[in-house]
Amino acid sequence: MVAQLLWIFASVVMLGLSSLHLYFTFFSNKFSIRNAEVEEAMKNSHPVLTKKTTVWKAWIGFNGSHSSGIIFMAGINIYLAALQFHLLSQSMFLQALTLVTSAFLLFLGKRYWFNIPFTGAVVSFICYALAVVLMWI
């Protein structure tokens, strides 16, 4: 029961932060650049890979896909923990995939993000890891 609650809590933290991130990406100016000249340059610059997009569009797209991926991960994990916990507790694959993904988000948070998403990644990783330990014992 404790493992199940930890898994759900970790997933809810991820779902909340990634949903807020998605909202900020498409419905606010939170990802605008403080230096208007840099933002304008991003909107008029193309990556070497293709001229069919701009650095700005790629920036927005990366943020949107990042959010949707974590929303998917969190949603699946909430479903599994709430309604299919026996499957989750018996699947080392699902546990490992979630732990590895959560650890990678923790790495990204430490290296590239700011305090709020990093703290969320820490809390989620610790909860997932504790849940896995409890499932194994």
- pLDDT-derived band of residue 49, with 50, 70 and 90 as boundaries? very high
Phi, psi (deg, nearest 5) at residue 83: -120, -15
Q: Of 4, 3, 22, which is closest to residue 14 (Cα–Cα)?
A: 22
121 with 114: CB under 8 angstroms? no
pLDDT score recorded for residue 115? 96
- Contacts of residue 81, defined as CB under 8 A and 6 or more positions apart, other chains included, come to 4, 7, 8, 11, 88
- pLDDT-derived band of residue 21, with 50, 70 and 90 as boundaries? very high
- pLDDT-derived band of residue 18, with 50, 70 and 90 as boundaries? very high
- Contacts of residue 99, defined as CB under 8 A and 6 or more positions apart, other chains included, come to 125, 128, 129, 132
pLDDT score recorded for residue 29? 95
Collapsing DSSP states into helix, strand and coil, what is residue 9? helix
Q: In this predicted model, what pLDDT tens digit does every residue of 66-90 receive, in sequence order? A: 999 999 999 999 999 999 999 999 9
pLDDT score recorded for residue 20? 97
Residue 100 is encoded by which pair of tokens? 């590895």
For 72, half-sphere exposure in the C-beta direction (CA atoms, 13 angstrom radius) is 7
Token pair 């694959």: residue: 93
- pLDDT-derived band of residue 108, with 50, 70 and 90 as boundaries? very high
60-86 as b/e: b if 16+ CB within 10 A: beebeebbeebbebbebbbebbeeebe
pLDDT score recorded for residue 69? 97
